[in-house]
Chain A
Amino acid sequence: MTIFWSLVAAAGAVAFLGGARSDDARAVWSIYLVNLVFWSGLAVTGPAIAAMMQLTEARWSPSVRRIALTTAGFLPAAFVLFLVLVAGQTTLYPWVTTPVVAKQAWLNAPFFWLRTIAGAAALFGTALGLVRALVRDAVPPDDAGERARRNRLAVALLFLWVIGVSLWGFDLVMSLDPAWYSGLFGGYFVVSTLYIGFCLLSLLTIRANARGQASIPPAAVQDVAKLQFAMSIMWMYFFWSQYLVIWYGNVPVETRFFVTRFFTQPWLTLAWLVFVVGWLIPFAYLLKRLTGRPPQRHAPLVVISVFGLVAIFLERVLVVFPSVTPSARLPFGARDLAITAGFLALFVLSRRWFFSQFKPVINLPHTGH
């Protein structure tokens, strides 16, 4: 399978390199940006979830915490991919070639890339530091000094994660349309990234059980599903908090962002798809699942988690593309799919590298609730 995924990654790279020099460079860089923030978000949110579990002394499943760490394998690759993004700055960000005088203090290329690259380096470095600390021992020692060190790392990671992912929202995505602004966009980006973090964690937890790598009880899977449910609600709450205020205020500079996406095709259809697939169906299923006993079968949860991941990917398409590409074309052509598949392949390969490098023990004793 490694050869297969390597070929897919290589095909994605070829599609990207060919497209970046074509007339359709805007669309190619846009799908690159969508994939970059999506997969990097997934990679760094795993360790962030483990950090939350460390700080809250969550004892409900050490295996789940260990699984959350394994997404960090993609972080070195993600850092290189962030560096590649610099080459697309003139294509993606209009303020690079046509400075916006009132915002130049914040939106200028040197400062922009300094905070993006340095932020990514600090965030990814700290995440890997925490991963090394938490993955080392099968059972965390009752050593107060070591525990305090891990807690400090976890606090540092969570600080950097919130600031870093917020800046991805404000800088990498919001500034694609430099006239538009929403104070909550950074927080919205954090919450939606956390949502897909839990979706992926559900998938990986169920997969670890299915492959015999772990024996995580249904109650612990249910707990991951609970957190996924909570984050799906938070995601919609953060969306609604932005939408309602902008709709009610009806200030042209704010509303045009939503008018393009929710009142013109093809984005309107995509927006409904995101809402139904990413929130309505997961909400309905998870509400039913969480009101009963933890089920033994997890196939519906797998489907719901994939729904959540696909929906947020499409949501990233929805926020990026209309700001960058003048053509109202959905990015589902062969080249777009090849680039996306390339990122997926790189993520899978990176996770395999992580397993070979760190050899994490997933099957930890379940200590109960």
Chain B
Amino acid sequence: MSDTRITSPTFADVTRDVARTLEPPGNLYFSWMSVVALILTAGILAWAGQVWWGMGMAGKRVPQMWAMYITSFVFWIGIGHAGTLISAILYLFRARWRTSIYRAAEAMTIFAVMTAGLFPLIHAGRMWFAYYLLPYPNQRSLWPNFRSPLVWDVFAISTYLSISTVFFIVGLIPDIAALRDVSSGWRRRIYAMLALGWEGADSQWRHYRRAYGLLASLATPLVLSVHSVVSWDFAMALVPGWHSTLFAPFFVDGAIFSGFAMVLILILPMRHFFGLHAYIQEKHLDAMGKLILVTGLLLTYFYVCEIFTSLYSGDDIEKASLFWKVTKTYAWALWLMYFCNCVSPLILFSKRARTSPSVLYVVSILVLIGMWFERFNIIVPSLGHDFYPYTWGIYYPSPTDTMIVVGSFAWFFLLFLGFIRVMPSLSVVEVKETLPPPMRDKTHAGHR
């Protein structure tokens, strides 16, 4: 739909349109939920099988012990980044186009981190010992090794989840109050409880704005820190293909890249099915397309630097590792990654492509495929071909770990599909702030 035909909504339209998304859903919604729940069930069954019969079910053998689970862990952590970037950094930079999409992006962040958090537990095998990761005093002095980046991960990710959740909840308060005012019955009681007594008083707004700005400032460094720490899980080791100074910014950029793609995967159907064209306009799609293009180009820059460093280093092992990745067993995965991450976003140089939902959707899917394979290419081929030939090995996915990874997508989408039916997926307050205020006398509306 062309934006020129869309009339600017009024304050009442915004509240009504958002409230409409929370009405009892139709059959289409339940069909999707059923499909997603079915896939999730298959994933849970596969996981139960792995717990019962052991990690061999997941194809985990030396040297490929990390394989698909850590690939997916890094992938999902990365997905969460765009939410924080959109909600915090773009807020601080006063990029007002974020208003229509940031709520969905924030929810995505939390659900993505929750999904990522499953994988260390699944990968531990005996997940009832996962608490060993936490620094707790105990009589056996089993303190975690603080010099291990894996422990840094625990702190980085738990901080990220905490700040993102608080940020998300604080941002929801005025919107929940708006929903409370237009709902009735048990819904009204629940919304009233969650709105924490919000009345929209001046003093409440003052405190709200201060808290929101403070949380945005706290969340901003996390965009850099979390994925940097995740990247150091690899870069600190001396494994060829891992030990690289590039990794921290390279991971952060890739995370933002994939996160934006996932935001589009989520908001484009929302826009279509909820009829939110007046709020998620072509200019929003255009801006998102530009960000995907820029982060994709930066990623290409990092890929080139990575290859350059391997060749420039003069290190035979590094060069052999690169050669193996480019030409041998997993070469298809590497070239697929280059196509998806470097070539496919180039179409977004065209404004027509950036404002076409179908093109954006296809590019976003390709980007997600490419970014999952980027993590696969870092983990699997590097571990499979390091210093000594006797430690080399090939990894083949098993039905169990494949089903668990597919199930993680179902888990993520189940959470998101649930969210959009119980909470406002569009920020009522911030969207209203971007609209002209209502005037008693419309003849003066042009003289604001």
Contacts and interface: CB of A to CB of B under 8 A. Distances in A.
A245 B235 contact: yes
Most buried by B among A170, A183, A369: A183
Contacts of B247: 241, 245
Contacts of A182: 245, 309
Interface string A222-262: 00001000000100011001101110110100000000000
Interface stretch (B27-35, B50-58, B310-318, B422-430): B310-318
B243 A251 contact: yes
A183 B306 contact: yes
- Interface of chain A: mostly helix, strand, loop or mixed: helix
Contact of A103 (B246, B249, B306, B314): B314
Interface size class of A (residues with CB under 8 A): 20 to 34
Interface in B199-248: 221, 224, 228, 232, 235-236, 238, 243-248
B183 to A, nearest CB: 36
Contacts of B246: 183-184, 187
Given A162-B301, A181-B312, A183-B309, A241 B249 contact: yes
Contact of B305 (A102, A184, A238, A249): A184
Interface string A99-115: 01011011000000000
A73 interface: no
Nearest to B214: A291
Nearest to A101: B314
Nearest to A241: B248
B228 A241 contact: yes
Contacts of B312: 103, 106, 170, 181
Given A183-B245, A242-B245, A245-B243, A100 B301 contact: no
A246 B243 CA distance: 9
B94 interface: yes
B243 A181 contact: no
B305 A251 contact: no
Interface in B255-289: none
Nearest to B251: A241
B314 A245 contact: no
Interface in A159-213: 162, 166, 170, 181-187
B131 interface: no
Contacts of A248: 232, 236
A237 B305 contact: no
Contact of A102 (B238, B306, B314): B314
A193 to B, nearest CB: 15
Given A100-B314, A103-B312, A106-B311, A184 B249 contact: yes
B388 interface: no
Contacts, number: 69
B94 A369 contact: yes
Contacts of B390: none
Nearest to B305: A183
Interface residues of B, number: 26
A226 B89 CA distance: 12
A106 B311 CA distance: 9
A249 B236 CA distance: 6
Interface in A124-167: 162, 166
Most buried by B among A105, A162, A249, A251: A249
Interface in A63-83: none
A278 B244 CA distance: 26
A197 to B, nearest CB: 18
Contact of B245 (A105, A233, A246, A369): A246
A251 B308 CA distance: 19
A106 B308 CA distance: 10
Contacts of A233: 221, 224
Most buried by B among A184, A185, A242: A184
A183 B94 contact: no
A176 B433 CA distance: 55
A24 to B, nearest CB: 31
Contact of A237 (B235, B243, B249, B311): B249
Contacts of A183: 244-246, 305-306, 308-309
A75 B311 CA distance: 32
Contact of B236 (A103, A166, A185, A245): A245
A208 B288 CA distance: 35
Interface in B70-114: 93-94
Nearest to A179: B314
Nearest to A251: B238
B301 A241 contact: no
Contacts of B94: 369
A49 B187 CA distance: 51
Nearest to B243: A249
Nearest to B225: A237
A227 B77 CA distance: 27
4 closest Cβ contacts across the A-B interface? A102-B314, A183-B309, A241-B248, A183-B246
Interface of B: 93-94, 221, 224, 228, 232, 235-236, 238, 243-249, 301-302, 305-306, 308-309, 311-314
Interface of A: 100, 102-103, 105-106, 162, 166, 170, 181-187, 226, 233, 237-238, 241-242, 244-246, 248-249, 251, 369
Given A241-B245, A248-B236, 15 more contacts: A102-B314, A105-B311, A166-B301, A166-B305, A170-B308, A170-B312, A181-B309, A183-B308, A184-B245, A184-B305, A187-B301, A233-B224, A245-B245, A248-B232, A249-B236
29 contacts: A100-B314, A102-B314, A103-B312, A105-B311, A162-B301, A166-B301, A166-B305, A181-B309, A183-B244, A183-B245, A183-B309, A184-B249, A184-B305, A187-B302, A187-B305, A233-B221, A237-B224, A237-B249, A241-B249, A242-B245, A244-B232, A245-B236, A245-B244, A245-B245, A245-B247, A249-B235, A249-B236, A249-B238, A369-B94
